Amino acid sequence: MRRRTYLLGCAGATAALAGCSALGGDGDDSGDGGTSSADEEGADGTSSSDDDGGDADSSEEAAGPSGPAETARAFYEAIIDGEKATANGLLHSKSTPAEIDDSLIEMYQSADATVEGATLVSTDDDVATVHVELNLKTTSGDRTTRTMDVGLRTENEEWRVYGEDDSGSTMPTVSWNIATTTNADGQVTTVAFTHESGQSIDPATLSVSVGGSEATAPESATELTAGDTIVATLAGDGSGVDAGAPALLVWNAPDSGQSAPVATIDLESEAAGSLASPFEIEG
């Protein structure tokens, strides 16, 4: 069984913006530093999708997001709202990943995430950085707040999402391909997560979780790049895991201790055992 899952930094947002099907406006910054809002500009320089009451002006909805902060907010909200075409329309043509797919939308929705803020950090002609704050559900079921800096660039005079900060405290952008293997009894014996494209990633920040057991990286592991595969073996102590249980590849923030799933697949059959640790890396 194989399933492709894209990761675009920390899992995204909800609270969708109505009428975001049109692409963004003229790319101008607002007078107080360029932060923008779906309905009005906040005094604290953050974008907001709330209004003052009354119906939104249909012509403003049709115009789409007009500044970098509003574009970043609209992008993540479109993902969680399942508006794939809208999200892809807000991506720069040279962004990574090149487009959003259904598996990314499913992952963001399963995290029950919301956008709590989008604030312009800097802007220089056709390049801008927006600080995005997200609230999401962790693998333990708790809620956590994560932040990241999102880069935007103009394209055809409109702001578009280009990529995310690849610093150690921000989840790298990676496209994962997932595969499982089974034994003669039809039990799942391995789950493999292949780095298909995107940024390099420190394997020490990754773990695999299945049925309450966890596998972490070997101490000798080096940086993961495209073509490398994490292979987690399900044959640890012989205690099986039921079919349908999720196998999760989890990114663990090196500084905060917080974690979030970056790729997941449901086991198609019972597992042969719990996870053996550490996982292996092939490539």
Number of domains in the chain: 2
DSSP state, 29?
A: P
pLDDT tens digits for 35-73? 333 333 333 344 444 444 444 444 434 466 889 999 999
Residue 227: pLDDT over 90 = yes
Do 34 and 153 belong to one domain? yes
pLDDT reported for residue 119: 92
Q: What is the residue range of 213's domain?
A: 174-282
Do 263 and 181 belong to one domain? yes
Tell me whether residue 78 is in a domain: yes
Output the pTM of the full model: 0.51
- 10 Å Cβ neighbour count for 177? 16
pLDDT reported for residue 104: 74
pLDDT reported for residue 233: 94
Do 144 and 68 belong to one domain? yes
Tell me whether residue 169 is in a domain: no
136-140 long-range contacts (CB < 8 A, ≥24 apart) are 136/10, 136/11, 136/111, 136/112, 136/260, 137/111, 137/112, 137/113, 138/258, 138/259, 138/260, 139/209, 139/248, 139/250, 139/259, 139/260, 139/261
Do 30 and 67 belong to one domain? yes
pLDDT tens digits for 98-156? 788 777 787 778 788 889 999 998 888 889 989 888 888 766 677 877 777 888 999 99
Structure tokens at 143: 């809620």
Task: Please say whether the beta carbons of 143 and 149 come within 8 A.
Answer: no
Radius of gyration of the chain (CA): 20
Tell me whether residue 125 is in a domain: yes
Please give the sequence-ordered ranges of beta strands (E in DSSP) within 73-126, or none if there are none.
114-124
